[in-house]
Amino acid sequence: MNEKPVLNVKSLKEQVYDFLREQMRRGEILPGSVIDLEETSQKLGVSRTPLRDALLQLESEEFVTILPRRKVVVNVLEDKDIKNYYEIIGALESVAILKAFEVLSNREIDYMEKMNQEMSEAIKADNFDLYYEKNLNFHNVYLNACGNEKLMSIVNNLKKRLYDFPRPKGFVKEWEEASIGEHARLIDYLRHGQKEEAAKFIRDIHWSYEVQKKYIVKYYQHLTEPA
């Protein structure tokens, strides 16, 4: 018989962090709002210490800003943030491809192709959550293979900041379809041993703010298109 574990293996700080991130993802805690420490502490039934530690992690990931007098403000994602994050992710994923290239096998590239196909099927079914999951799986193939855990951690945190805070209920279908096409082109570069072309493509096309801007301004409807 399978029994539920008696103890939660996660620390209180991790549990509080997960709760706050899920609230942000679902839009229960909105950008620009203030987190009431006393109210949150009582709601979760925890002391200030794990709450403070969770908030410090969220601040390091740029989700919140901790101000004097125990005030915590949830950061708003601005256009300049999106542009900066795209530049950072593009640069790091380009490095990841260069580092991972020699160890990427046909089996791993086949898996990327499979994920891309499943992304296409998810979009046809209007299932953006599934699309997003498969998209992460696609990119994580070469991120995992590059052997740099810190690089992968930074990239994944920035993606959460971009797409999961809160995650919009709708999506820009033409953007997802264009992304699937870009993935197919990246796979082609990898299959043909074109390392430099693959790295440049992921940086200068797939994660280019300027190239993707026409989709970005539709996805982030609270932002106005830059002049």
| Greatest extent of the chain over all pairs of C-alpha atoms, in Å | 63
Instruction: List, in order of start, the domains of the chain with CATH numbers.
Output: 12-74 (1.10.10.10), 79-219 (1.20.120.530)
Question: In sequence order, which residues have a C-beta less than 8 Å from that of residue 165 and are 6 or more positions away?
Answer: 24, 25, 31, 63, 77
Tokens of 183: 């993935």
pLDDT in tens, the chain (227 residues): 455 554 456 889 999 999 999 999 888 999 999 999 999 999 999 998 999 999 999 999 999 999 987 789 999 999 999 999 999 999 999 999 999 999 999 999 999 999 999 999 999 999 998 999 999 999 999 999 999 999 999 999 999 999 887 877 778 999 999 999 999 999 999 999 999 999 999 999 999 999 999 999 999 876 544 43
- Positive or negative CA dihedral for 77, 55, 157, 117? negative
Tokens of 21: 């991130």
Residue 115: which H helix or E strand, with range? helix 106-124
> How far from chain centre, in Å, is Cα 39?
29
- Going by the DSSP 8-state scheme, the letter that residue 225 receives in this structure is P
